[in-house]
Amino acid sequence: MMYSQHRKKLFDLFEENKDCILFFSGGTVARRYDTDFEYPFRQESNFLYLTGVDEPDMAAMMDCKTGEYTLIIPRRDTQYAVWMGYLYSPDEYQKKYGPDRVIYADELDKELKLRKPEVIHSLPAAAGSIKEMGFHVETGELGGAMAYCRTIKSEDEIRCLKKAASVANQAHRDVMKAVSPDSYEYELKALFQYRTARNGMMHLPYSGIFASGPGSAILHYVEYHRKLRDGELFLLDAGAEYRGYAADITRTMPVNGKFNTLQAELYDIVLESQEKTIEMARPGNKMEDLHLTAARIIVSGLRDCGLVKGSIDELMDKNVFALFFPHGLGHFLGLDTHDVGGYPKGTKRIDRPGLRFLRARRTFEPGMVITIEPGLYIIPALLEPSFSDPGLKVHLDVSRLSQMMEFGGIRIEDNIIIRENGPENLTDVPKTRSDIEQFMTSEPV
């Protein structure tokens, strides 16, 4: 039912042009370079959104004139069955996925010639094979139409997001309980994946960040080999995926279970910025306004603890906040971790430090699902050049910051549904300092 509703939503956008076909190509199996090693297959998100088909080498077409949905399957031989498993007949595919018709891929040319569409709308990656058949293919509209459809989540989609979040929440708790000096990042990554796999979630929505010490200031850290050390922070940014729908959660915790004074000061700054911006995640507000609110809270907190100097307006105007908070506040969440829809047609990026990496710039509407993830980092690559910049160093306590180059970073991320009556938070992992410390140091139940 969910997928038929998605197809209707898309059909409605093309009702003025009835003489057209919407053509989609599904994903294929990826292999490691020039070998026969196959990576686990994960369906292309637009195709999954419309069909629910989670098998490789498929395609689909939707006839705007008749409303008919045709699933296009590969014609496989017995050798495929020997190596890869059971061969399904067209009738079995029809029962399994519910298309109106099923045809083989080698019948597509004949099928299109019978229909004689005026135009075939396709995403750019799928256009080549249709053009080779001699049909007029338009690739400029379907991507925007799909983004429009996927941006507002149905309640069926939200149930999938909630299922992913529930497992990711528990996996985060598992890791938070296991973090200790002398554990390794890769051990904690394995523990997280064990929890998701035990719940049947074999795909991860992204590789995850399991970063300790200075690595927690690397925004997309991928090393995983470091031993955690007493007195450091550990940053865990990881999620789960259910029926293609993602959870994306971040927590930062003290390796020894107790925040020291500096860690506590900076952690509370990030937490305040997150709590304030979550409250602002309501219809009618914009992501960039939330981002600037978070940035202002962060730079104000840094001034209060003496790491930066000057008026808040001046620190904002000179983009001092971006030295410590260089990424966007959040992004859309759905079938992709960084989901589509963040930049509607004609919307441009803000060319300003700290804002140019925003993954979404639009007014919130009910049914959108976003992340809120402010951060505060000591990044040598950003701070060290600023120490010799006359316009910036006057606002920095260079002496203290120079001694903090191994500090790392803090990020807190929750998954939020925009609702008419206020934000709905899908994330319930311990988040306040007291809750984190109590959870990490309490005896297992």
What residues are annotated to the active site?
34, 220, 237, 248, 327, 331, 338, 373, 377, 411, 413
> How far is residue 444 from each of residues 6, 161, 189, 336, 349, measured CA to CA in Å?
44, 28, 20, 34, 47
Q: Is 2 exposed, middle or buried (0-12, 13-18, 19+ CB in 10 A)?
A: middle
d(CA 387, CA 395): 10
Supply the angle between the helices 433-441 and 261-279 in degrees, to the nearest 10. 120
Parallel/antiparallel/unpaired status of strands 209-212 and 137-138: unpaired
Residues sharing a CB contact under 8 Å with residue 265, sequence separation 6 or more, in sequence order: 301, 305
Q: Which two tokens stand for residue 252?
A: 């930062």
CB atoms within 10 A of CB 347: 11
19 neighbors 65 (Cβ within 8 angstroms) = yes
226 neighbors 185 (Cβ within 8 angstroms) = yes
Give me the phi and psi of 342, to 5 degrees please. Answer: -70, -25
Parallel/antiparallel/unpaired status of strands 233-238 and 209-212: antiparallel
d(CA 134, CA 415): 46
d(CA 92, CA 85): 15
72 neighbors 103 (Cβ within 8 angstroms) = yes
Element (DSSP H or E) covering residue 70 = strand 69-73
Q: Which two tokens stand for residue 206?
A: 């992204």
Max CA distance (Å), the chain: 76
Question: Among residues 21, 14, 31, 27, which one has the least CA distance to residue 335?
Answer: 27
d(CA 185, CA 319): 33
